[in-house]
Structure 1
Amino acid sequence: MILTVTPNPSLDRTYEVPVLERGEVIRASGERMDPGGKGVNVSRAVAAAGRRTLAVLPLGGAPGALIAELLDAQGIEVAPVPVAGATRSNIALAEADGVLTKINAPGPELTPAEEESLLAAVRTHSADADWIACCGSLPLGLAPSWYADVVARAHAAGARIALDTSGPALLEALRARPDVVKPNAEELSAAVGRPLATVGDAVKAAEELRAMGARAVLASLGADGQLLVDGDGAWFGTARVAAVRSNVGAGDSSLAGFLIAGGSGPEALASAVAHGAAAVCLPGSVMPTPADLDPASVTVTADVPVDRVLTEPVS
C-alpha cells in the first residue's frame, strides 16, 4: 500500500481554452473539476493503476467535503483530518498549444492542534505502507522543518519515504535522509542555487542533493525526460509523446509510477517515464490507467547525455 500525505490539498478546476488573452472574454472548450494537491494526485495515479492507496490530508469547508466525495468516487481510501479553514481551490488554464497557466490559492492556516492531528493520522496509518509519499507545499502554520519531522518519524517506524516538495521545506528535509526526492528542473536549480543549462548540470545538482542527504533523486526535466541518480549510478529516461494536452499532475503520475515499480533502479525510472508521458496526453489532471501507457515508447539508458542542452534551461 502507498500512503500519501498532502498537507495543502486543493479542489482543482481546469479550463481548456484556445488561447489566453488578457482582458478578453474567453470561452472554454472543455472543463474539469478534480481533487488536487501533489499527494492526492499520486494516490489517484496509484488507484488508476489498480493498486491500493490511502490519502491523508486536512480537509475543511465545502471544498474539502467535495474533495472527499470525489476521491471516494474514484475508489481511493481517505483519512481526512478536519480543519476549521476551508480547503483551497485552484484554477488551471490549458491553452491549445500546451501552455498552462495556474492560479494557486494559499490555503488555510493550520492550528497547532490540527498539525498534531495530521501527524497522528500519518502515524496511525503508516504501519501497512510500503511507501509514504509526502508531497506538495506546506500550508500556513507548518514550519519548513515539518517534512523533516515526518521523514524522521517514518524511518524510526521502518517506513520508506518519497518526498516531492521545494524550497526551504526540501532543504530542511534532506537532513533527515528521505529515500527519494522528486524535484523538477526549477526546484532542482533552486535547491543548489545555480542555473541548469544541460542534462549534465542536472546530474551534478542531483549528486549535490544526495550529498546533502537524499538517498536517491528522481528529477523531471520536462520535455527532455527524467533523471534518476542514486548510490548505484545515474540513468536517463525519455519517451515519445505525440501531443501535449495538459501537464497538470504529470510529475505526480511519474512519482506514482516510480513507487508502483518498487521505487529504485532503472525499471522504476522506466515506469515513471511511461506514466508521465501518458499523463501529459490526457485532459486536466486525469491520471493514466495501464491502458494509457506505452512502455515501448520509453528508453532508459545509463549512458546519460550530459552535453545535451535542456529544451527549457533554468536560469
Structure 2
Amino acid sequence: MIVTLTANPSLDRTVMLPAALQVGDVQSAASAREDAGGKGINVARAITAAGEECTAVLPLAIGDPFAAALREAALHTHRVAVAGHVRANLAITDPAGVTTKLNLPGAELSADEVGAVIDAVVAASAGARWLVLAGSLPPGAGDDFYVRAMRAVRTAHGDAAPLIAVDTSGPALTAVVADGRPDLIKPNDDELSELAGTTIEHADAGAIADIARSIVPARAGAALVTLGARGALLVEGGGAWAASPPPIQVVSTVGAGDSSLAGYVLAATRGAGPDERLRLAVRYGAAAASLPGTQAPAPADLPTGDVPVTRLA
C-alpha cells in the first residue's frame, strides 16, 4: 500500500486558450475543466489508476464543494475534518503548452487541526510501503510540518515504517533536508537551485548530479530531479542516472512532476532498479504533460517512445 498526504489540497481550474496569453487583454477561452488537485492527490490518482492500493490523506471540511471533485477522482481517502475550505488554483494554458498558474494560499489550520492531520498520517501509514508527503503547506502548519509528520510516523511504526518521499519547495523543503532525512526528495531545477544555493539553469546533467550529491546521501537517501523538457535525473548513494523524455505534444505541464513521482514510486514498489525507476518516472511525467488540466495518467496514456537512460560518471 502507498499513502499520500496533501496538507493543502486545491480545486484545480484549468482554462485552455486558443492563442498565447495576452496580459492585460480580454480573451475567450477554448475550454475549461476542474480537477481535484494538490500534489499528493495527483500522485494518488496516478497510483490508483495503475491498479495499486493507495490512500490519500487530506484535511477536508464537512460540506466542502471539493468533495464532489474528489468523488469523481475515485480515490480511497482518509479525511480529517477541519473548519476552512479547500482553495482554488487557476492554470491558464495556451496551444504550445505554456502554462501560467495562480495558486491561492489555502485556509489556515489550527494547532489542533495540524495535530489531527499528523495523527491521520500515522494511522494510515500502518503497513504501507511508501508515504508520499507532497505539496505546499497551508497557513498555520509551520515550515517544519513535514519533519514532524515524518518523526511521528517513524516513532509509531519503528522498523516497519514506510519509506518516505517528499515533494515540496521553499522553507518546507529546506527543513526536510536539514532535519527529516527523507528517503527521496523530488525537486525540480528551480527547487534544487534554491536548496543548494546555486543556479543550474544552463548546467548539464553531470553538473546537476554533482549539485544533488551535496545533499545525497548525507541528508536524503535519493533525489529525483525533474527538468521538464530536458528529462530527469536520479541521484542515489550508489550512482546517478539521466533520462531523456520521449517525444510528445505538450498540452499542460500542470501536475507533470507529481506524475513523475508517482511513476517512480510505482516502479520502486515493484522492485525495479534505479534505471527503470527513472525511466517510468519520466514516462509518467511525459504522459501527464500530454493531457489537459491536472489529469493523472493511466498506464494506457503512457507514451511508447524510447526513454534513454544513461549512467553518469
Of 165, 175, 178, the residue aligned with 1:172 is: 175
Structure 2: give runs of 5+ residues left out of the alignment: none
Of 204, 208, 215, the residue aligned with 2:210 is: 204
Match of 1:6 in 2: 6
| Contact 2:213–2:235, Cα closer than 8 Å, also in 1 | yes
Of 219, 222, 234, the residue aligned with 2:225 is: 219
Deviation at 1:130, TM superposition (A): 1.3
Match of 1:15 in 2: 15
User: Which one-letter code corresponds to 1:182 in the other structure?
Assistant: K
Match of 1:103 in 2: 102
Match of 2:40 in 1: 39
For 1:67 and 1:124, how far apart are their aligned partners in 2? 23
Whether 1:182 and 2:186 are equivalent positions in the alignment is yes
Q: 140-149 vs 19-28, which deviates more? A: 19-28
For 2:209 and 2:164, how far apart are their aligned partners in 1? 22
**Hey, which of these two has a bigger chunk of strand by percent?**
1
| Contact 1:238–1:298, Cα closer than 8 Å, also in 2 | yes
Structure 1: give runs of 5+ residues left out of the alignment: 305-315
SS in 1 for 2:215: helix
Whether 1:51 and 2:52 are equivalent positions in the alignment is yes
For 1:77 and 1:61, how far apart are their aligned partners in 2? 17
How many equivalent residue pairs? Answer: 302
Please list, as runs of the form range in 1=range in 2, the aligned pairs for 1:154-165 lying within 5 A after superposition: 154-156=153-155, 157=157, 158-165=161-168
Whether 1:275 and 2:284 are equivalent positions in the alignment is yes
Q: 153-162 vs 285-294, which deviates more? A: 153-162
Report the TM-score, using the length of structure 2 for normalisation.
0.92
For 2:154 and 2:100, how far apart are their aligned partners in 1? 37
User: Which one-letter code corresponds to 2:176 in the other structure?
Assistant: A
| Contact 1:144–1:172, Cα closer than 8 Å, also in 2 | yes
Encode CA deviations 1:49-86: one digit per residue, 9 max, x unaligned. 12121111112376xx3333323333211111121112
User: Which one-letter code corresponds to 1:89 in the other structure?
Assistant: A
For 1:204 and 1:60, how far apart are their aligned partners in 2? 44
Report the TM-score, using the length of structure 1 for normalisation.
0.92
User: Which one-letter code corresponds to 1:30 in the other structure?
Assistant: S
Match of 1:307 in 2: none
Please list, as runs of the form range in 1=range in 2, the aligned pairs for 1:1-315 lying within 5 A after superposition: 1-17=1-17, 18-60=19-61, 65-156=64-155, 157=157, 158-174=161-177, 175-196=179-200, 197-198=202-203, 199-210=205-216, 212-262=218-268, 265-303=274-312
For 1:76 and 1:183, how far apart are their aligned partners in 2? 25
Deviation at 1:267, TM superposition (A): 1.2
SS in 1 for 2:187: coil
